[in-house]
Structure 1
Amino acid sequence: MESNTDNTTLLAMLESMLRIRAYEEKAAALQAQGQAPGTCTAVGQEAVAVGVVQALAADDLILTNHRSAGHLLARGADTGRMLAEVMGKSTGYCKGKSGSLHISAKELGVVLTSTIVGAELSLATGVGLALAMERSAAIAVCFFGDGAACEGAFHESLNLAALWRLPILYVCENNQWQAFVHRREAMAAESVGDWAAAHPMPCASVDGNDAEAVYAAAAAAAAQVRSSRQPYFLEARTYRLRGHYEPDDQHYVDAKELAGWRGRDPIAALQARLLAQGVLSAESLERLHQRVAADIDNGLAFALASPYPAAEELATDVYA
């Protein structure tokens, strides 16, 4: 594939993907060691998070779901504050009160993370309406999975966004799994985009394991939403390589299917492409891995050294 993205952007995307992978593997390891609660990872989906977020403007707003770490880190979240939040420490983004499933970071434009399947779709309508009423140049970006697309909120949200002409970019991370149930067991359609097109709004589909393709598709989609002030639907076809919720041995997953998708690992693919193109050398790639590992280690040290919230803060910041 001939690259249309500048090398600086590609390298930044690779580093972000590596950081997300390392962070989520560390979070899962902490859970296995009893140092952190269980969490939902999105290992294997890094190209979607990074490709889409890389295409956004600084004032755009993000709503996401229980697999949110990639979106937050791609947006610039600090690994130390993220790990502190997961571990219930006061230095976390929500002062240790959200855990891994409800992190919001106003300073990053991440309005909310919701573990309620489809909730971000319902709330995106309100955020999009607010942007329209304020005549803002920003857009709202709503990340959700194929499982959420099977909820009634999916159709309600897209219908109102099309009817009211709201500046929302809907991003479906179709990772083939709805908790412990395969997409084929819960969806009659092969593509979520077929449902979205009926509302109507522009729709596109992209290989969610190709970071550069996701970036190009998201940049085009965001530009159209920004100029038209109307919704757009982007479906990224990817695969979740770890289980639904840590710990999870994935006994319900077809071993051949999983192996096939592991062979399409988005990080390995981008690394190989950049090495083949001479953008990366083996030495520079090793330094990149070392920098990411050091960032995770430093973040963990910060989280471990951070205090838990004081008892008198139990009810503070619970309600706005």
Structure 2
Amino acid sequence: MKASPAPEASPSPLAAPLAAYLDHARVQRRLAPRSLQIYADALRRLQQCAERDGVELLKLQPPQARRWAARLHAEAELAPRSMALLLSAWRGLYRWLGRERLVELNPFDGLRAPKAAKPLPKALAVDDAVQLAEYAPGGREPSDVLDRCIVELLYGCGLRVAELVGLDLQASAAAQGWIDLAGAEAQVLGKGSKRRSVPLGRAALAALQDWLALRPGLARAGEPALLVGARGGRLGAPQIRARLKARALAAGMPTHVHPHMLRHSFASHLLQSSGDLRAVQELLGHAHITTTQVYTQLDFQHLAKVYDAAHPRAKKK
């Protein structure tokens, strides 16, 4: 008779103060289930460290706390973001223990995870962006006209997807944003509830006019949204992402395309052509110039590729 496999070992129960803190996070702080799972995993790691070194958690001192963090970073090869989540849970635990008068100090105060390298935003090549915008397998089919309008507003105007979703046909007290065809502008509500005007280029205006010619037959009566779906209501961000993904795949794009990639492409291509960082900042609606400066690195990458491809001294023998 074949022996049945041994049952998997269940995680050891959390020590009383750790379990009490997790209950506090669930009941008082009302953390989401996923967040509670992250906290529970972090507390189990803390308990394992204490058991391994024979340390009482209520008597933990900063030097030992630093050693545990360094050891986990090295042995478990945790990424900076994972380390930050871990340390945040541990600091929260000891902050709560302090309020409960169970500890006198927080051994994790001032202890920070290593900084994660910020990846550069990904942008399409100019030819790919143009190909995506002009791709029209169905010609004047409403779906294709709508998709082209979406691409032209994201790439041609540098809109965030939330700004695009919030656009109405015309200005009103309830409108987050609207289209001004006469002025060839989009009025959008950006981050921090800041309004800005974004110019509509020739291609974006043409795509808008094509869509507006078809929209009355698709929108529900009284629907204020500029972009509407099959049921006649306002398109949401998930729908726009799905439509853009499908269009990019059909158009043969070399990478996954999402709305913010088109915003990155708008900024990168505009900076390559104009070199005017302040203008790009204004068009994107960035509060600080440092946020926009990341595109100068993309611009340098583009110039470096041109140099490597064209300069006789850059060619490898």
TM-score norm. by structure 2 comes to 0.21
Structure number having the greater helix percentage:
2
Higher relative contact order (CA 8 A, sep 6+): 1
From the CA coordinates, give the structure whose radius of gyration is larger.
Answer: 2
**TM-score normalized by structure 1?**
0.21
